[in-house]
Amino acid sequence: MRFIFTDLPMPPSVNKAYVSVGHRRVKSAQLVTFNRQMDLWGLSHVKELRAVNEALKLAKIDLHLIFYFPVQKIYTKAGKAKQLDVSNRIKGIEDAFCRLIEIDDCNIFMVRATKRVGTCEKVYLELKEYQAHAV
């Protein structure tokens, strides 16, 4: 079974997810805000999240993420790609989504991430059961 969610909030970069306070690392205001946004998003998708849990709670998971950004965040005016590393955003969305579906993220066996131009910042998430291929 395949599950698709097209309207998730954008997580902060892992570089901005934690801050140093004294000798400790704590969640940044950006990460706390994102987690609150995910909690609110989850409240409006309770039925779908339960279905994901029921279908995949014992499965190995294949996760595909598409990160949408406005064109000006991806390219300079001259058309060169800007430093916008989507791999730095994977862990935030993975942790928050797995918390909502109540499945440990150690069950994710494959992750694919794509960066695309969109009208606003948002995340498309697709998950399904992982199908291992013989090597």
Q: Give the number of other CB atoms < 10 A from CB of residue 67.
A: 23
pLDDT, residue 135, reads: 64
Classify strands 2-8 and 122-129 as parallel, antiparallel or unpaired.
antiparallel
pLDDT, residue 76, reads: 78
Rounded to 10 degrees, the C-alpha dihedral 66/72/76/78 comes to 110
Question: Along the 135 residues of the chain, how does pLDDT read in single tens digits?
Answer: 899 999 999 999 998 899 999 999 999 999 999 999 999 999 999 999 999 999 999 999 999 999 998 887 777 788 777 777 889 999 999 999 999 999 999 999 999 999 998 898 999 999 999 998 766
Domains of the chain and any CATH numbers: 2-129 (3.30.1330.70)
